[in-house]
Copies of this chain bind each other. A is one copy, B any other.
Amino acid sequence: MTRPLTSAERALATLRDLIMGGELAPGARLGEVELAERLGVSRTPVREALSRLAAEGLVEIAPNRGARVATWTVAELEGVFDLRSVLEPQLTAHAVPNATPADVDELDALARRMHEVGTPGPGQDLDALVPLNRAFHDRLVALAAHPTLATALAAAIHPPIVRRNFLTYDEASLRRSLAHHSEIVAALRAGDPEWARAVMTSHIANARAVMVRAARVRMAEQVAREEESA
């Protein structure tokens, strides 16, 4: 029998989904009354939800000025990747001894399906890749069975970024990323934690490079726009 959720918890979950799903873009204003009406509750639980989301880093609250969906500078994004490049390889290494053959098979299936939808060509479907990628990484984190590291990682990874990042992979980087997943499966099957750790380190470094390049492009576009309007 599952306990009925409180209003504040529903508000929290709904807002989180809205932000992570991209319906609420970074920088969007989050008025308390507006959200309260939208969710059918009073401002009190909305405030509580916003407060907790702020602690998660998904929204930013300025005293007396309200909340906005968090935005990130390039430097902050690089910081997040620094953190991931330390935590995820460690978690992956932890996962190795815990992975049963059945677990490895499931990860293998995910990696194969990512190849199917991710390989450039007629069958490519990048939108399908995002949830598969997420499932793969979540599965690995779960196998690590290390709540503290997992929590620290979850606090750092902001899915809107990952999602956006995925759409900016160039062909070579995307192929590398897909190959990494398969190679992690191989390392798991071999029971070699150092191998798995090394691949995951490469995987994050690759993602980081994609992110930095995309950020540079966005910045150049913005400069162009500003000069145009000047």
Interface set of A (CB-CB < 8 Å, partner B):
3, 6, 9, 47-48, 51-52, 54-56, 63, 76, 79-80, 82-83, 86-87, 90, 146-149, 152, 155-156
Contacts and interface: CB of A to CB of B under 8 A. Distances in A.
A77 B86 CA distance: 19
B90 A146 contact: no
Instruction: Tell me if A's interface is mostly helix, strand, loop or mixed.
Output: helix
- Rank and list the top 4 A-B pairs by shortest CB-CB distance, nearest first: A79-B148, A55-B55, A152-B152, A86-B86
A9 B62 CA distance: 12
Contact of A90 (B63, B86, B147): B86
A152 B146 contact: no
Given A48-B47, A55-B56, A146 B82 contact: yes
Given A55-B55, A79-B147, A80-B148, 20 more contacts: A3-B63, A6-B63, A9-B63, A47-B48, A48-B48, A51-B51, A51-B52, A52-B52, A52-B54, A52-B55, A55-B56, A76-B148, A79-B146, A79-B148, A82-B149, A83-B149, A83-B152, A86-B87, A152-B152, A152-B156
Contacts of A6: 63
A177 to B, nearest CB: 22
